[in-house]
Amino acid sequence: MFSKALGYSVISVALLLVAGCSSGTNDLVIQSKFAYPNGDYADLGPTFAEKSVTSFMSPPQMDKALFGELHNEALNKKNGADQLVDYVISNNVTSFGVVPVYQSTFRLEGTAIKFVNAKPQNYVDGKTPSPTRTKPVK
């Protein structure tokens, strides 16, 4: 009887160690009407980029470098894309049981656009050239 209880205990502890938990977050950034209000741009369609990162002790966080990497990867999937608008940033974190190992999958989805005719912006102090937010249109 004792060996049977010990066997169940070992199996229970093993299952506890390999059991995982998953959670996710989303952040929607709407820019299509405000990113370049006086500009003329062509919609190139939806695009995305995804990257998984594994870490020990604490879940990985999205930083500026990772966002830039995902942004550039998404733009490179659409020929001639200059900017990504109306994008969603998703993060899915999975922890692996009691062992503090985390895997985060970061995903960036949005609409790629190409600037056709970037016009000067009008500011309070008068007419000034448009701020450089994207690569120049050739």
> Tens of pLDDT along 18-57?
555 655 666 666 665 555 555 678 889 999 999 999 888 8
How much helix, strand and coil, in percent to the nearest 5, is found in the chain? 20, 45, 30
Q: Would residue 13 count as lying in a domain? A: no
Q: Would residue 9 count as lying in a domain? A: no
Q: How many folded domains does the chain comprise?
A: 1
> Structural domain of residue 76, as residue ranges?
21-121
Supply the pTM of this predicted model: 0.64
Q: Would residue 77 count as lying in a domain? A: yes
Q: Would residue 11 count as lying in a domain? A: no
5: which strand partners?
Answer: none
pLDDT for position 13: 55
**What's the rounded Cα separation, in Å, for the pair 75 and 83?**
7
Q: Would residue 138 count as lying in a domain? A: no
* Better-scored residue on pLDDT, 52 or 135: 52
